[in-house]
Structure 1
Amino acid sequence: MRPSSYLGLLVVTAGCALALTPQGFSPEAAAPLTVIYSLSISAVSDGALSQAATAKQPRLATDKALPGRSYAVIMVDMDVPTENPPQTTTLLHWMQTDLTPSPSETILNTALGRTPVFLLENRRNVIAAAPYIGPSPPARVPLSHRYTEILVDMSNASMAQITKLSQAALKRENFDTKAVLESVGITKSQIIAGNFFNVTNPGPAQSGPLPPTPGAPAPGEPAAPPAPGAPANNPPGTAAPSGMPAPAPVPGTPGSPVGAPNPVATVLPPATAPGTGGGSSAAPITSGASHVSTGLVSVMVATAAALWA
């Protein structure tokens, strides 16, 4: 007997038939990446999410079992404003290596039917190369930002490649995903899955000096993480004295044990339909053509139960 988890989920499926990453982003992905946030959200027709709903590090999953042993996720904001609007730049929001695919499926019981997914887990508690920073678009043009995630197969990567990828994460601003992966020796065939969603500042748009970029070191703070193996001053993902996530050693060295960000395998209380009250539910976002037509968005509310079969 093996467990099949039935999760109560608000699922937003966004994207188009041929692209799982937004226009202008490279490299493209060929399969959907499911991103599961722990907070309830109120999804709108354009697939947008709120800043509050995406504040905490999500869980990741794919719709098919992955054959590899180790994967990395890269999350980038494509629409960071500059001093020369409407020109924009990019910001690395998250890079985590050593994600292991689960061999057993978790069932999302949605309005479109039972959907199996396979979770990715940081089983060795490897500290992130770039700890997660939640979306926080400033009140500048553009107010709406696209946040893109790609999943990279690192199963056959050498330690030198992993180290080089991690070192590239030290510079979050103007992060060029394609150039970084090419410099590490990652090929297009290793881009396994992708996803993107929007978070919008309600505005109005302001002028004047830009606010500090999230993730930039405060005055007097070191820009680089400590030497590999050296402990960070703060647990991974928590705020450093500057208010930014604490720096982390180079991935590949297990960090101090940290709990799973959003333990989706936990049995959840039954979800309640919108407008009827009740508890909250987790919120996955899947981007792919398997559930939607070009330009369409589906919003599905699922019920929750846990069964052993």
Structure 2
Amino acid sequence: MSLDIPYVRTPGPDGREITGQVDFSQVPRFAGPGTFAGLPRLADVGESAAGVIGIPFDSGVTYRPGARFGPEGIRSASHLIRPHHVELDSFPFAKHQVADVGNLAVTPFGIETAIDAMVTGLTAARERAGKLVILGGDHTVAYPSIKTLFDKHGPISVLHFDAHIDTFGTYFGASTHHGTPFRRAAEEGLLDPEGCMHIGIRGSLYDHHDLSDDRALGFQTVHASEFLTTGLHGIADQMRARLGDRPVYVSVDIDVLDPAFAPGTGTPEPGGLSSRELLFLIRSLAPLKVVGADVVEVAPSYDHANVTSLAAAHVAYEFLSIWGL
């Protein structure tokens, strides 16, 4: 542990010391190690129960690039995160060890080569860091993440927050890109077809078959327009009923938010969720068996006042807080 950075330390339930955030009473929030929320690096604590990991990859985008800089932007926007989650009454950084794993080094040239590297890196990271929140990166990263979780849990239920279904097919000769992660995972038998769900879908499509193909893969859809009629609590009830006690992977494309709340993304769609709605729905997952998560498609170069990165940082914090209950 670096001696020149003071961390908050507390005794854990098993008697071992937990290294929490940088002591921000001694270090200004704009200083410190530059990790997510001022957490220690995994290399400094050895192992953790939960952590964040960056995958700065955006070679799978089909429109505006820039999500490779998402992990950097999200970490920068996380420095105001404090240790007590009030709504959940959770102290995630004192309940067990949480760490910042750092970024996976993946090539920007060759999607399949990059995916192989992600599978290898995520497998190794989960052995030492426990449950992970991935900071993307484009949505391609969800596919290798699900592959590594399947090896441990078997078929995975996916709760997918997005403006787009991301079960599209081959595009310009590429069968794997940010619009296909859940199609690829379903075709390989990695998903539980009885427990997959999209939230926030909206916008135009190519044809009717986009939705029929999606239903054939087992996805149930809550369209953004349904928020006006069903309401937040009703949608939260639908999510919990659909997912049950299955192992759940939660994938959050930041473009599920309306561009007013998340302009810094590659394929924005009007008519989306507010950040308050998204955070509430993630919080409502606390009783479920969430085994992994990601927040992807943050492209800081299109952002204004870091509002997109800030929303994404708090999405990641919600998952860490759920795991800290």
TM-score of the superposition, structure 1-length normalised? 0.26
Which of 1 and 2 has higher RCO (CA within 8 Å, sep 6+)?
Answer: 1
Q: Which structure has more helix as a fraction of its residues? A: 2
Q: Which structure has more strand as a fraction of its residues? A: 1
